[in-house]
Structure 1
Amino acid sequence: MTTAENEVARGAVRHIAVLTSGGDAPGMNAAIRAVVRKSVYHGLKVSGIRHGYAGLIAGEIEELDVGSVADIIQRGGTKLYTARCPEFQTSEGQEKAVEMLRQHHIDGLVVIGGDGSFRGARALSHRGVRTIGVPGTIDNDLPCTDYTIGFDTAINTAIDAIDKIRDTATSHERTFVIEVMGRNAGDIAMIAGLAGGAESILIPEAPFNMEQVLEKLERGMERGKRHSIILVAEGVGKGMKIGEQIAQRTGWEVRVIVLGHLQRGGSPTAFDRALASRMGAMAVDLLIRGETSKMVGIRGTKLIATDIDEALDTAHEIDLSIYELAGVLSI
């Protein structure tokens, strides 16, 4: 018998459930598929919980099999749906969730989502539920992992939009301000800005000076440049206000584009599909070994497991050398 089969035989876990919570991210379906098929491979019962923690409290639980997750690896969004659940943030709501898991004889839970989802997973683990977190968020704002599921797809979506906008910016000789998602992190703006050749990138991790932004735009105009792209992370502020400031200070015609939820949709990239598949499978392995309150992550090419407490108590850090390089290349 394999190590995993030995663990299953000893009764470490018999019935695994999976849910998605918080904002959706491309690749979540690939992770769900991996959890289900890895569980079935090891002879475990597996169920899906619809609508996140709200669905858990309401008992929206259905048994899944290999066929249940066919033809979803390439689909964006989440087959299990997702929802916010203020009730789950209360002790009473968490007790209802634990009781529902007991009623369905579920002894292991995989939570796919961001930091809010992981706080819920930690709360359940403190109440005796074996939980493993799989990082699924386009923001890439979780520590203890180089990448989160959905980030690669989101930056490729942003780059595609930047390329298209640059075409019309060139044709009309205009400055465009593009606001991208990221919540309080600048990862999407930084990487998309570097790869898309943005003239300026504004992120919350590097306080910007509007005078410097304007000086760079004016230097470009002086050497004959007639269009510019300024990428703004939502954590910095509203792109519309920044666009208005530039227009008022320069007298130029400025257009503002907010990409918004466009970045959350679409078929996941090959990178996100592979990452999600690996992370979902590892979550099952951890539960089989009797682990709990862990987050799956990736460092380099290797998957790692970190205590959720450590992940939630550690500040997310951005690699500012990438930001600095983007500034150098945009002179």
Structure 2
Amino acid sequence: MKKALVTTGGGDCPGLNAVIRAIVKRAQQTTNWEVYGSMEAFNGVLRSPKEIIKLDDEKVAGIHTKGGTILQTTNKGGPFSWPVQKEDGSWITEDRSDEMIEYLHREGFDAVINIGGDGSQKISYQLFKKGLNVIGVPKTIDNDLACTDYTFGFQTAVDIATDAVDKLVTTAASHHRLMILEVMGRGAGWIALHSAIGGGAEVCLIPEIPYDIDKVLERLNTRYVGGRGFAIIVIAEGAKPIDGTVVARKSDEVGYENIRLGGVAYQLSDQLKKAGFEHDIREMVLGHLQRGGTPIAYDRVLATQFGVKAMEMAINEEFGRMVSFLDHDITSVSLERATEGQNLVNPNGFLVQTAKGVGISFGD
């Protein structure tokens, strides 16, 4: 009997459970594969006692409709940087990848399916180079992974953000206010761009197009006549002004290596007031609401396609590759290619041109 291990790493994302379910369902179509799951990414393998569970029909029944992941997840630590506390209370990290790989080989795991974003897939590639049979599945609401047109979870996040724009329009109109909605995306503006178009915002500020505050102000002023009017700005958390910097801070959480973004809406509000904007402004940071809740049908379907493909790749021993959605086809690319860059908004692309065609300003 062959064994596959499934992990979910990085931030949670609508559709993770649909992938897990699809992997198990596809494995059941064969007669010689069992599927297991490691809790909290690879932490379940690294901990003592181990936290590895068998995934069967009972475990995955109906989970495709639920957000989050039944395997739980983490963006701290991992096999290459396991946090260890010293006697003096300080923390260091250890590389436990060889130990983990040796354990998985000893326990007879024939394939590891690692579901995660860019950080998780870089771990996948490193493990593959060290001799582990790894297959990657791309996951992120940010839609910023290279070599795949879309990642599951993105469309659900866009729906949530667009719904927020819709709701802000009514309160903005009632009070003649400017509402600034900050959405996630890190260094990519996909969520902001889609929700700004879908919700009909006047201004969309994204990391790929640094903004000029005077041009933003110019667009906003067209929305007010005699002190009356309203406007909506959608701003990505990684957006920044020309010659400015991203609003971010280093995390003090043990094992968390990424910078923490957030707060750009308040910075923009201050900039507008200093630039002479005279009307009421309110800020809203949508935050983790974009990650939670039930995945929409599109993401359930895409996640299921990814899960089935990943299990078929394991059966066919196509290791060192990541599942990919390219040109409306479910295919795969090498992990090396998948981790070489990012999928960012093209400032001259058709979607930006569409937004500009309906009057949305990018402050450029």
Please classify the TM superposition score into its range, dividing by the shorter chain length: over 0.9
Cα shift at 1:53: 1.7
1:257 pairs with one of 284, 287, 300: 284
**Residue pair 1:200, 1:327 contacting (<8 A) in 2 also:** no
How many residues align? The count is 319
SS at match of 1:33: helix
What code does the residue aligned with 1:28 have? L
* 1:19 alignment counterpart: 7
What code does the residue aligned with 1:242 have? L
Distance in 1 separating the partners of 2:213 and 2:5: 49
Deviations 1:90-115 (A, max 9, x none): 47321122123124311101111101
Cα shift at 1:246: 1.5
SS at match of 1:189: helix
1:299 pairs with one of 320, 323, 326: 326
2:312 pairs with one of 285, 292, 302: 285
SS at match of 1:250: coil
More strand by share: 2
* 1:317 alignment counterpart: 344
**Residue pair 1:40, 1:66 contacting (<8 A) in 2 also:** no
More helix by share: 1
- Structure 1 residue 30 and structure 2 residue 57: aligned? no
Distance in 1 separating the partners of 2:290 and 2:152: 13
**Residue pair 2:142, 2:191 contacting (<8 A) in 1 also:** yes
SS at match of 1:78: coil
Distance in 2 separating the partners of 1:100 and 1:294: 22
Unpaired segments ≥5 residues, structure 1: 1-12
Identical aligned residues as a percent: 38
Write out aligned runs for 1:137-216 (5 A): 137-216=140-219
**Residue pair 1:198, 1:231 contacting (<8 A) in 2 also:** yes
SS at match of 1:97: helix
Deviations 1:21-67 (A, max 9, x none): 00010000000001111112212111011110222212211111122
Distance in 2 separating the partners of 1:190 and 1:293: 33
Deviations 1:145-195 (A, max 9, x none): 111010000000001111111111111110011100001110100111111
Q: Give the ranges of 4+ consecutive aligned residues of structure 1 lying more than 6 Å apart after TM superposition.
A: none
* 2:36 alignment counterpart: 47
Cα shift at 1:290: 1.1
SS at match of 1:201: strand
What code does the residue aligned with 1:53 have? F
Moved more, 179-188 or 244-253: 244-253
What code does the residue aligned with 1:116 have? G
Moved more, 101-110 or 314-323: 314-323
**Residue pair 1:54, 1:84 contacting (<8 A) in 2 also:** no
Unpaired segments ≥5 residues, structure 2: 82-93, 240-246, 248-263
What code does the residue aligned with 1:241 have? Q
Distance in 1 separating the partners of 2:107 and 2:171: 56
Distance in 2 separating the partners of 1:310 and 1:209: 35
RMSD: 1.6
Distance in 1 separating the partners of 2:195 and 2:327: 20
Tell me the TM-score normalised to structure 1 length.
0.92
Distance in 1 separating the partners of 2:291 and 2:228: 33
**Residue pair 2:227, 2:279 contacting (<8 A) in 1 also:** no
**Residue pair 1:197, 1:330 contacting (<8 A) in 2 also:** no
Distance in 1 separating the partners of 2:169 and 2:99: 52
- Structure 1 residue 135 and structure 2 residue 138: aligned? yes
What code does the residue aligned with 1:23 have? G
